[in-house]
Amino acid sequence: MKIAIVTETFLPSTDGIVTRLTACIKWLHRAGHDVLIIAPDLGVDEFDGAPVKGVAARTLPFYRSKQFALPNRVVKEYLEDYNPDVVHVVNPAILGYSGVKYARRLGYPLVASYHTNVAQYLDYYHLSPFKGVIWWYFRKLHNQADLNICTSQTVQEELASRNFRNVHVWKRGVDTENFHPGNYSADMRERLTDGRTGDKLLLYVGRLAPEKEIEKVRSVLEASDDFSLAIVGDGPHRQPLERHFEGTKTVFTGFMHGEELAQAYASSDVFVFPSTTETLGLVILEAMASGLPLVAARSGPTCEQIEDERTGLLYDAEKDGNFVDTVRRFEDETLRRRLAANARQDIGELGWSEAASQLLELYNEAVGLDEAARKKEELT
């Protein structure tokens, strides 16, 4: 099968979407399929043998730490030249608008995947009045696809309630070989704790943005001297966060990748995930694979991944002080060790093969749906 993937984000950017895509592309190649990637032009022209066709990218006023590609007719040229069996538009919004538009115009079967709850993010940028328009726009794009996919049952239910059609849940996956408790590094722990290696080390990994609610962790550091915090990642909110955590036992590392990131997970004690806006949170799976127990806000997607009191602790975001109280329970090392072992056990055999093979099945289903729709049109 020839598969064209049009994505708003790709290498060298690092996020859960890119991680999922690269893992599935590798699996598709091993299974004998051909892939073309159309993405913002960030200097990468090939991945695992798949050509990456770049579209001119630029920073936008509302998000200057990342480059985006605007709608562009070159997407049509790339698709025509490649002539795919199916087009997968990942997180259609800006560049993805062109992916949806030209896939439909050229008559290719179309899959669209939903990864980011943009409408909910607007609350953190004082743009709540625009949520209705955002939902209308994304629904209009996604409902042109033969088949839609998302990354959790909770999101599937929300999209269905908002009249997104034919939405399937894309299974979870994580690289359990790369992320493993055996990657512990004394040097990495020294770095992440700024030499305070005897502290309980809290770890956050991800994009630094207001909707991540990372500020909450300062209250833990103020309430207990047992903890240090390492914040791995970067984003538009880094400078405000550095000011917010000034004077606390907090280390900002910037982005980490590969072996270095795996060591950061395995050398920490507890993973903190304060956000209530995630559609999946791949970092949760990476932390569990690394043998870390978690503290996360109780939400639909987190409840699908974390078993409260067994692989992590879920806190009530509406209850004042509950986040601090929940994290402080890990002052008990016996509790921490028990939940850490359960976390790794639950995720240890997951891998990416099921998610990737399911994606191929969904591509084939979209091709079948497209063919059926064409026959129906011919009969009418």
Q: Which residues contact 159 (CB under 8 A, 6 or more apart)?
A: 114, 142, 148, 150, 167
Domains in the chain, ordered, with CATH? 2-173+352-379 (3.40.50.2000), 181-347 (3.40.50.2000)
Q: What angle do CA 119, 124, 127 make, to 5 degrees?
A: 60
313: helix, coil or strand? strand
At residue 80 the predicted structure's pLDDT band, cuts being 50, 70 and 90, is very high
DSSP element (H, E) containing 7:
strand 2-7
Average pLDDT, the chain: 94
At residue 5 the predicted structure's pLDDT band, cuts being 50, 70 and 90, is very high
Residue 370 pLDDT more than 80? yes
Quick count: other Cβ atoms within 10 Å of Cβ 378?
A: 7
Per-residue burial over 84-116, b if 16 or more Cβ lie within 10 Å, else e, is bbbbbbbbbbbbbbbbbbbbeeeebbbbbbbbb
Q: What angle do CA 54, 58, 60 make, to 5 degrees?
A: 140
52: helix, coil or strand? strand
Whole-model pTM: value is 0.91
CA 293 to chain centroid: 19
CA 35 to chain centroid: 21
Cα–Cα dist 380/376, whole Å: 6
Cα–Cα dist 305/367, whole Å: 31
At residue 61 the predicted structure's pLDDT band, cuts being 50, 70 and 90, is confident
At residue 346 the predicted structure's pLDDT band, cuts being 50, 70 and 90, is very high
At residue 65 the predicted structure's pLDDT band, cuts being 50, 70 and 90, is confident
**What local confidence, expressed as pLDDT, does residue 62 receive?**
66
- pLDDT tens profile 168-217: 999 999 999 999 999 999 999 999 999 999 999 999 999 999 999 999 99
